[in-house]
Structure 1
Amino acid sequence: MTEIWDGITQAFFLVVSFDPDLVSITGRSLRVTVTAVLIASLIALPFGAWLAVRRFRFRRWAIALLNALMGLPPVVVGLIVYLLLSRSGPFGVLDLLFTPTAMIIAQVVIITPLIASIAHQALRELWAEYHDLLISLNTTKWQRMQILLWDGRRALITAALAGFGRAIGEVGAIMIVGGNIDNVTRVLTTAIALETGRGDFALALGLGFVLIGLSITVNLIIHGLSRTEQEGRW
């Protein structure tokens, strides 16, 4: 019990003193994850809007597939990205394996279906409200998508934050494609796994505190935005 308390005390000191290793790892985690969320959102949000306003033969199947992809095993995603970026893979010439770019690619693949699915569900309800009005105004599909994306912006921010929450806590795919290289691809989750294996519980707990703090902050923001959205509808 004494060792655990000592580890927590040291971890708290590392956090409040802004330990250089902890700050570096946290900054790298945020850069990789925020970049992945921005790229995924640029893909997922328009796709969710398009899926809400577009009617086509296999639309139900497309929605079902999108929802199924939300549960993609991250380790499998990491393996596929690894094979694509390895020297023997089709994109090996780009030399991206074991770089932050490879980690961003893996995170984008993981969180894009999640963001798109949440966005589609929110925009589908909005489209049901605006359908008659937008049809009567003879708007194009692109204009309808733009209107939905703008009016549903709070829900879309929530979708992006949900993607951030999943990406920041990812370890399997990141470990495979990033390699957990010190000062290059080491992020919060992989560093926690490494330091725990080394027995450096103080640093591992410090990193864990930061990760928990980020997760709580994101969830509080999502909760606040969700309440604001609900109150706005009333």
Structure 2
Amino acid sequence: MDNLLAAFAQAFGLLISLDADLLEIVGLSLRVSLTAVLLAAAIGLPLGAAVALFRFPGRQGLVVLLNALMGLPPVVVGLVVYLLLSRSGPLGVLGLLFTPAAMIAAQVVLVLPIVAALARQAVEDLWQEYEEQLRSLGSSTARAIPTLLWDGRFTLLTAILAGFGRASAEVGAVMIVGGNIDHVTRVMTTAIALETARGDLALALGLGIVLLTLTVLINGGAELVRRWARDWAP
């Protein structure tokens, strides 16, 4: 018990003193996860909207596939990305393996199905509500996509947050493609796993506190935005 209390005390000491190693790990984690989520959102939101609005052969199969891919095993994604980026792989010439770019690529693959599947459902619901009105204004199906995405922006924020939660908490894929290299590819989740195995609970607890705090702040901020939109937005 005394050892645990001492570890918590040291963890808070690292946070209060703004330990350089801790800040470096947190900064890289945020850079990787936020970049991955932004890229996944840029692709997934219009993709989900297109699947919701257009009718084409195999559409139902694509919907099922998107929903199934929401549960992609991270280690499988990491393995696939590793094979693509390895020296013998088709993208090995880029030299991206064991770099932050490789971790971003793996997280994009994990987050994209989540954003696309949730966006599809949200846009499909909005289309059922506003289709007649948009048609009467002369809007085509393709032109309705940005309108519906904007109208559902607060709902879609939930999809993006779900993607960020998946990315920020991911360990297996980034460990495989990033290698958990100190000062290069070590992020919060991989550092927590490593430091716990080493017995350095202070740094692991400090990083865990930061990770939990970021998650609470982001979700709390999103909830405030949704409430503002519901109560005050025109």
Classify the TM-score, shorter chain.
over 0.9
Residues 115, 127 of structure 1: alpha-carbon distance in 2 compared, 3 angstrom cutoff: same
Deviation at 1:196, TM superposition (A): 0.9
Equivalent residue, structure 1, for 2:204: 204
Match of 2:108 in 1: 108
Return the letter of the residue paired with 1:123: V
Alignment-derived partner of residue 43 in structure 2: 43
Superposed CA offset, 1:50-79 (max 9, x none): 112112232222111110000000000000
Instruction: Check the 8 A contact 1:44/1:116 in 2, yes or no.
Output: yes
Instruction: Give the TM-score taking structure 2 as reference length.
Output: 0.95
Q: Which runs of 5+ in 1 are unaligned?
A: none
Unaligned runs of at least 5 residues, structure 2: none
Counterpart-to-counterpart distance in 1, 2:226 and 2:6: 39
Alignment partner of 1:188 is 2:188: yes
Q: Match of 2:213?
A: 213
Q: Distance in 1 between matches of 2:3 and 2:125?
A: 53
1:23 alignment partner AA: L
Aligned to 1:59: 59
1:145 match: 145
How far did 1:202 drift? Answer: 0.5
C-alpha distance in structure 2 between counterparts of 1:62 and 1:89, whole Å: 27
Sequence identity, in percent? 58
> CA-to-partner distance for each residue in 1:10-60, whole Å, 9 max, x for gaps?
101111211101100000000001100110001000011111211223222
Q: Residues 119 and 228 from structure 1, CA distance in 2 versus in 1: closer, same or farther, beyond 3 angstroms?
A: farther
Q: C-alpha separation between the residues in 1 aligned to 2:228 and 2:126?
A: 16
Question: What are the superposed Cα offsets for residues 193-226 of structure 1, whole Å, 9 maximum, x if unpaired?
Answer: 1111111111111011111111222232343345
| Paired residue secondary structure (1:88) | coil
Return the offset for 1:163: 0.6
TM-score (norm 1): 0.95
CA distance in 1 between partners of 2:16 and 2:116 (Å): 37
Deviation of 1:229 (Å):
5.6
Kindly provide the amino acid, as one letter, of the partner of residue 23 in structure 2.
V
1:157 corresponds to which residue? 157
Aligned-residue Cα RMSD (Å) equals: 1.7
State the SS of the aligned residue for 2:170.
Answer: coil
Matched, 1:166 2:166: yes
The residue number in structure 2 matching 1:129 is 129
2:39 partner letter: I
Distance 1:166 1:218 in 2: 13
Distance in structure 1 (CA, Å) of the matches to 2:149 and 2:213: 30
* Aligned length, in residue pairs: 234
Alignment partners' CA distance in 1, 2:112 and 2:232:
27
Matched with 1:89 is 89
Give a deviation string over 1:96-117, Cα, whole Å, max 9, x none.
0000000000000000000111
Q: Aligned to 2:88, what secondary structure does the other structure show?
A: coil
Cα displacement (A) at 1:232? 7.5
Distance (Å, rounded) in 2 between the aligned partners of 1:232 and 1:140: 30
AA matched with 1:27: G
State the distance in 1 between where 2:96 and 2:132 align. Answer: 48
